[in-house]
Amino acid sequence: MSKKIEVEEGSGNVFADIGLPKPEDRLAKADLAIRITEAIRARRLTQTRAAHVLKIDQPKISRLLRGQLSGFSTERLIHFLTLLGRDVEISVKPAPRSRRRGHLRVVATA
C-alpha cells in the first residue's frame, strides 16, 4: 500500500510561502544577490578581489555570497551590480487590473 504525500503548490515566492514580512522585497534582494554572484564568478574574482571592486570587506562578500542579506539594501545591491559592470534598468508600469498593488521583481537578461 502506497502512502499519499500531500503537496501544496507554492506561490513562486518562498518568502511569502513561509510567512516572512516584505516577501517581495526579500525575493528581489535574493535575485539581485544571485546576479552579483554570477557576475563575480563570470569575472573569476576571488572574494578578496570582489571586496576590492565593491569597496567592502571580504567577510561581507562571504555573507553576500552565502545569501545572508541583512545589512544590504536593495539600492546597495544594485550599486554592486553596476560596479561589477552590469547595467541595471528599472522599469515602472501599471499593475494589471486584477491587482490593486504593484509588484517588485528582478528580471535578468543575458
Q: What confidence score (pLDDT) does residue 1 get?
A: 65
Instruction: Tell the residue number behind the cell numbers 541595471, with chain if given.
Output: 88
* CA 51 from centre of chain: 18
Sorting pLDDT into bands at 50, 70 and 90, what band is 7?
confident
Read off the pLDDT of residues 14-38 as tens digits, 9 standing for 90 and up.
888 888 898 889 999 999 999 999 9
d(CA 54, CA 72): 12
Domain architecture of the chain: domains with CATH: 24-83 (1.10.260.40)
d(CA 105, CA 84): 20
Q: Note whether 67 and 37 are within 8 A (CB).
A: no
Q: Note whether 103 and 24 are within 8 A (CB).
A: yes
